[in-house]
Amino acid sequence: MIRVFSGIQPSGELHIGNYLGAVKHWVGLQDEYECFFCIVDYHAITQDYDVDALESHTFDMAVSLLAAGLDPGKCVLFVQSHVLEHTELAWVFTTVTPLGELERMTQFKEKAQRQESVLAGLLNYPVLQAADVLLYKANRVPVGEDQVQHVELIREIARKWNTRYGQDFFPEPHAQVGRARRILGLDGQSKMSKSLGNTIGILEELDGIWELLRPAVTDPARVTRKDPGTPEMCNLYALHQQFSPAYTVEEVANKCRTAGWGCLDCKRVLADNMAVALAPIRERAAELRARPERVQEVLESGAERARSVARETMREVRERMGLLSAPQATPSET
Ligand code: TRP
């Protein structure tokens, strides 16, 4: 049985970059594989974060994921901090992870550069990620391009642990990177990211979408209304490809190349189509929000299912590592 694991930070409402780049793909995977999807709150605290907002951001992320199509009948959806074994296995893995490997991670270097004092949690971020994946002995990890290096490190951690404590115990997982053209932020430059303020939330309505699209950066060669453009150079054309029907995509390309439409005309059509495409997600989110206890239930039963796998893995890990077994080594239960 192929097992899939992926994680997402609790940033609140999903934005269309998360949705198109990751979550839409996850929705498809749950029909084919045994899937674990995790809201990684212990990763979120490795950088400055708003303590008062974390709880609601975690809840909102769960709402977004369910609204976007994750189905608790087909996958296990849970919150990382609800399953204590994640941090336990992360500690174990720090003892087989070379410091040099952690220091060489691109994401660490980038984030560390922006910090006055670099905390150990930021350095150990990929070790916790290794624990996430390997606790469930997952074989596949659907991630964005920027996480491939971390998955490589997870493979190395699995190898190192296996060499020391038990051949073939942990499988070496593979990163699965989607082929979809990368959607940039509305600035047309950086990755779409909430911290950069260049996103569109998946729960936005038409007016909100329009407000965000109107100033968005298009093909830089179209300086005036009369300049012909190149659709392939335009981030909004990539969005048309995701949200508009095929005949519209074709029309947009023609009108752009011939300067038949200005960018605003093109954006208006895009806003309408996005609002229509996202409507069912918005409706499901409203239903879920009206029944918060239902969302809590989903997360509770997700954590319970995750725990039963995690406990078994940790029992074997402790045994293989020579840790004396405790009479009742499951404090998470009481
Ligand atoms: N680091 C991932 C990201 O920022 C999130 C994540 C945490 C993750 N644990 C994971 C992804 C395990 C895949 C598998 O996108």
Q: Give the pairing of strands 140-143 and 174-177.
A: parallel
Confidence band (pLDDT; 50, 70, 90) for 272? very high
How many Cβ atoms are within 10 Å of 90's Cβ, its own excluded? Answer: 21
Q: Are residues 144 and 257 in the same domain?
A: no
Q: Which of 38, 87, 111 to mutate to test the pocket of ligand 1 (most atoms within 8 A of CB)?
A: 38
Strand, coil or helix: 3: strand
Q: Does residue 123 sit within a domain?
A: yes
Whole-number Å distance between alpha carbons of 15 and 19? 6
Number of domains in the chain: 2
Q: Does residue 136 sit within a domain?
A: yes
Can you read off the two tokens belonging to residue 7? Answer: 């994680």
Q: Does residue 327 sit within a domain?
A: no
- Cα–ligand 1 centroid distance for 270 (angstroms): 31
Q: Are residues 145 and 111 in the same domain?
A: yes
Q: Are residues 28 and 80 in the same domain?
A: yes
Q: Please tell me if the CB atom of residue 133 comes closer than 6 angstroms to any atom of ligand 1.
A: yes
Q: Are residues 269 and 171 in the same domain?
A: no
Query: Do the Cβ atoms of 212 and 189 come closer than 8 Å?
Result: no
Q: Does residue 196 sit within a domain?
A: no
Q: Does residue 190 sit within a domain?
A: no
Task: Report residue 97: phi and psi, to 5°.
Answer: -100, 120
CA-closest candidate to residue 71, choices 316, 326, 298: 298
Q: Are residues 279 and 143 in the same domain?
A: no
Q: Is the pLDDT of residue 107 over 90?
A: yes
Q: What is the mean pLDDT of residues 187-197?
A: 88
Q: Please tell me if the CB atom of residue 143 comes closer than 6 angstroms to any atom of ligand 1.
A: yes
Q: Are residues 260 and 170 in the same domain?
A: no
CATH code of the domain covering residue 278 = 1.10.240.10
Q: Please tell me if the CB atom of residue 129 comes closer than 6 angstroms to any atom of ligand 1.
A: yes
Can you read off the two tokens belonging to residue 205? Answer: 């309505």
- Cα–ligand 1 centroid distance for 58 (angstroms): 15
Q: Are residues 266 and 298 in the same domain?
A: no
Residue nearest to atom 15 of ligand 1 (CA): 8
> pLDDT tens for residues 3-30?
999 999 999 899 999 999 899 999 999 9
Q: Does residue 275 sit within a domain?
A: yes
**Span of 23-27, 87-91, 238-242, 325-329 with lowest mean pLDDT:** 325-329
255 noted as active-site residue: no
CA separation, residue 102 to residues 112, 210, 235 (Å): 12, 42, 34
74 noted as active-site residue: no
Q: Are residues 148 and 268 in the same domain?
A: no
Q: Which of 147, 154, 193 to mutate to test the pocket of ligand 1 (most atoms within 8 A of CB)?
A: 147
CATH code of the domain covering residue 173 = 3.40.50.620
pLDDT given for residue 331 in this prediction: 60
Whole-number Å distance between alpha carbons of 101 and 294? 42
Q: Are residues 116 and 220 in the same domain?
A: no
pLDDT given for residue 180 in this prediction: 66
Q: Is the pLDDT of residue 265 over 80?
A: yes
Q: Are residues 242 and 279 in the same domain?
A: yes
| Residue ranges making up the domain that contains 220 | 203-287
Can you read off the two tokens belonging to residue 334? Answer: 């009481």
Active-site choice (24, 111, 137, 160): 111
Q: Does residue 197 sit within a domain?
A: no
pLDDT given for residue 87 in this prediction: 98
Atom number of ligand 1 nearest to Cα 138: 14
Q: Are residues 11 and 127 in the same domain?
A: yes
Q: Is the pLDDT of residue 190 over 60?
A: yes
Q: Please tell me if the CB atom of residue 147 comes closer than 6 angstroms to any atom of ligand 1.
A: yes
pLDDT given for residue 223 in this prediction: 86
> pLDDT tens for residues 288-316?
999 999 999 999 999 999 999 999 999 99
Q: Are residues 154 and 230 in the same domain?
A: no
pLDDT given for residue 329 in this prediction: 56
Q: Does residue 273 sit within a domain?
A: yes
111 noted as active-site residue: yes
